Amino acid sequence: MQNQAQIDQVLRQKSDAKEIPGVVAIAADSKEVIYQGAYGKRDLSKDDAMTADSVFWIASMSKAITAAAGMQLVEQGKLSLDAPIGKVLPDLASPQVLEGFDADGTPKVRPATNPITLRHLMTHTAGFCYDMWNGDMVKYLERTGTPGITSCKNEALKTPIMTDPGTRWEYGTNIDFIGKAVEAVSGKKLDAYLRDHLFTPLGMSDTGFKIGEAQRKRLVAMHQRGEEGSLAPIPFELEQDPEFHMGGGGLYGTAGDYIKFTQMILNKGRGNGNQVLKPETVAMMGQNHIGELNMTKMTSAVAFATNDVDLYPGMVKKWGLSFLINTARTPEGRRACQHLLLDRPVARRHRRNPDAGAAVRGQKMPGSVRRLRERRLCRARCRAEGGVISFPSPRSCRERVRVRG
C-alpha cells in the first residue's frame, strides 16, 4: 500500500481545518484490514475524539445489506426476482403512476402498465423516487400530507411511482420495500432477520436499527454547514421505535462492522467462517441487471438537503443487485469495476474491485458532490493496489436530512 503516513496526513489536515467534523477510514483486502485511521471529533461541540469504533448512521449503506438479505431468500426460493412482488406485498399489487397535477394541485395518477418485480426494486427501476431529487414528489408530499421516508411511518411508503416499472432508472425508496418483502416471507421483523442471518454470522455486533446504550456513547453527531461555511452539530436521530425498519437507510453501525460485510462480498459470500451467500449469487449481484437503461444524474429538488449528484460525469453507468457498475476506468485510475452506491442523506459509498480484491468504504454528508475533486485528490493520494479509503463523516447539511437512503 502507498505510504500510510500520507493517508493519515490528508485525513488529519481536513479534520484539523474543520473542513469535516471527523472521519473514520478503513481499508481491507479479502484477507485482512490493511489500513485504519480516525481523526477529528464525533461532535464539534464536545471534546470526544473520533475513534475507530465510532457509531454512524450509515444511511444508504444499509441498502447493500438489505439487498443481500433479499438474495438469501431468493436462494431459498422464498422470493423470486421476476415474479410480481405484489404477490408478496399486496400494497404493490396495483401500482399507480403519477402523471402530474390538476389546476388545483390535485395529483393525477394512472395504473402502471407493468407489475413491479423484486429485480426492479433491487435495480431502482421500479419507478419509486426520493423527493430530494424529484420535484413532482416534493409537490405530491406537500399536497397529500404524506410523511417523508425518514419518519419510518408506513404511510411514507404509500406514494405513487414516477414511471412504469422497468422503463427508467431512478434512485428511490425501492430497498425499503425489499425490507418489507424479507419480513413477509421470513416471518421475522427486519431487525431480527438481519441480526440472525447476516450480523451474527459475520460478527457485526455493532450494527442495527436501534442505538444501544454502549453505542450511544460512541455516536457521531449530524452536522450542518452554515452560510459562512462553518460546521455545527444539529439534532437528528431516526425513530427508535419505528412503524417499519427502513431497509434502504435505517441502520447505525461502525466502519469495522461494515468492512466485514464488504469482505464477505470479496470472499464470494463467506465471512467470519460462515457462508451467508452462495458464490454464484454474489457473482450475479455484480452483473448488469438494467439492460440498455443507464444510471442518470440526480438533480436536486430540495436545496437544503442535497446538491446535484452526477457520479463520474460522461461515463455510462449500470446497476446490479444492488451495485452501481462503472463501465470504464474512473478518473482516479480504477479499472471498470463495481460499486455499491449507498448515497443517502448521509451519503456513503462502498466500492468493489474484483481485480484488486479490495473494498472501499466512504462517508460524507449528502450533497458533498461539489467536493468530488477533493475526494478524488484524496483517493489519488491514498490509492493502492488492493487498498481502500474512507471519506469524511457527517459533513454539511445543507446536506442534511436527506432523507437518501
Catalytic residues: 60, 63, 171
226 grid coordinates: 452554515
> Is 365 in contact with 56 (CB distance < 8 Å)?
no
C-alpha cell of residue 290? 438494467
**Position 76, amino acid:** Q
Nearest to 52 by CA among 206, 222, 224: 206
Measure the CA–CA gap between 166 and 163, rounded to whole angstroms: 8
CB 348 within 8 A of CB 402: no
Are the beta carbons of 248 and 60 closer than 8 angstroms? yes
d(CA 91, CA 20): 41
In SS3 terms, 262-279 reads as: HHHHHCCCEECCEECCCH
Tell me if residue 243 falls in helix, strand or coil. Answer: coil
Q: Which residues contact 125 (CB under 8 A, 6 or more apart)?
A: 119, 165, 166, 167, 168, 169, 170, 290, 293, 319
Question: How would you label 70-82 residue by residue, b for 16+ Cβ within 10 Å and e otherwise?
Answer: bbbbbeeebbebe
Distance CA 225, CA 233 (A): 9
Do you know the residue count of the chain? 405
For 279-318, the DSSP string reads: HHHHHHHTS--STT-----B--S-TTT---B-SSTTS-EE
Of 258, 254, 248, which Cα lies nearest the Cα of 359?
Answer: 258
Q: Give the span between the Cα atoms of 258 and 204, in whole angstroms.
A: 8
Largest CA distance in the chain: 62
Residue 40 and residue 190: Cα distance in Å, rounded? 33
Half-sphere exposure of 327 (CA within 13 A, CB side): 14
Contact 259, 28 (CB under 8 A): yes
